[in-house]
Amino acid sequence: MLPILSAYKHIMTGGKLLKKLFLTYIAIIIIISFLLQNSKINHMSIHTIDVGQGDSILIQTPNNKNILIDGGDENSYHIVSSYLKKQKVKNIDYLIATHFDSDHIGGLDNIVENFKISNVYAPNYKCDTISYQNLINSCFNKNLKLNYLSKGDFIKIEDDIKLNVLSPSFIQDDNNLNSIVFKINYKNKSFLFTGDAEASNELNLINTYELSDVDFLKVGHHGSRSSTTSEFIEEVSPDIAVISCGYKNNYGHPHKSTLDTLEENNVLTYRTDLLGDIVFYSDGEIIYTNKNYNLNKK
């Protein structure tokens, strides 16, 4: 502001035309700033946070509700925490652990300890891992109840935003098969989040639900060949897909077969291993991004 004030004092000693031009310039700056600050008031944002070989997604609603889905592994806390603070997140209204693999919940205990959490959700089973116990202990220390989600449950986030749980319908031995799969509907757009759901989960989903209206898909299991089948993608027919995985990871994610399936079905596919953090916005009618991501990057 000091250069502007200095310019203002200088101009005020000049003619009336210069004064009018300066005031018009200031008025334009104020109007543009106001429009930028309010342009996303009615928009939901979906942030796929680059935590390497893991998952962590932040959803922010038009009325400033924050939904955090997973938190990466034990080394991801600082990445997720920094990202949340950058987005001015102080309270997490809904914390969802899709399942108990360490690359999804390893960083959540620290998130619970260092942020205000209103609700915590997870599938209804126990695990004997350190990551699971750390999450349970952190919730206990904050007097947070672990709420269980399964097929048929729903959460009304806001008047125009509903979260419908599609899976699991029963608990199995494989952690991935117990992933909470849910669809968020925002006006005329729908967003499907799949955790590490496998092919058998996908088959059950398309045999149980009408999912042809999905617009945005969080690809299951980091793009592994064990999910994202042709039958599933053909039925769901998303316009946009996001894959969260680590750069040159040891698992070969995402697998070529998965990428081929998405390409054959004309799905625009975004990958954290190549693009870093990925952010989309939606007003309930369209889904868009402010960044020109290079999808041809190899």
Query: Could you give the 3-state DSSP secondary structure of residue 197?
Result: coil
Q: Which residue has the tokens 């350190």?
A: 130
CB half-sphere exposure, 65, CA atoms < 13 A: 20
- φ, ψ of residue 170 in degrees (nearest 5): -155, 160
- Strands 154-158, 120-122: pairing is unpaired
Angle (CA) 143 149 155, round 5°: 90
Give the Cβ contact number of residue 94 at 10 Å.
20
CA distance 103 to 251: 13
pLDDT of residue 297: 73
DSSP state of 148: E
| pLDDT one digit per residue (tens) for the chain, 298 residues | 445 545 545 555 555 655 666 566 665 655 554 444 444 568 999 999 999 999 999 999 999 999 999 999 999 999 999 999 999 999 999 999 999 999 999 999 999 999 999 999 999 999 999 999 999 999 999 999 999 999 999 999 999 999 999 999 999 999 999 999 999 999 999 999 999 999 999 999 999 999 998 999 999 999 999 999 999 999 999 999 999 999 999 999 999 999 999 999 999 999 999 999 999 999 999 999 999 998 877 6
CB half-sphere exposure, 96, CA atoms < 13 A: 25
pTM for this model (two decimals):
0.87
pLDDT of residue 16: 60
Q: pLDDT tens for residues 48-89?
A: 999 999 999 999 999 999 999 999 999 999 999 999 999 999
Q: Which residues pair with 48 in a beta bridge?
A: 57, 278
Q: pLDDT tens for residues 146-192?
A: 999 999 999 999 999 999 999 999 999 999 999 999 999 999 999 99
Q: Identify whether the C-beta of residue 84 lies closer than 8 Å to the C-beta of residue 75.
A: no
Identity of the amino acid at 124: N
CA distance 68 to 197: 18
Q: How many residues does the chain have?
A: 298
Q: Which residue has the tokens 């652990």?
A: 97
pLDDT of residue 42: 80
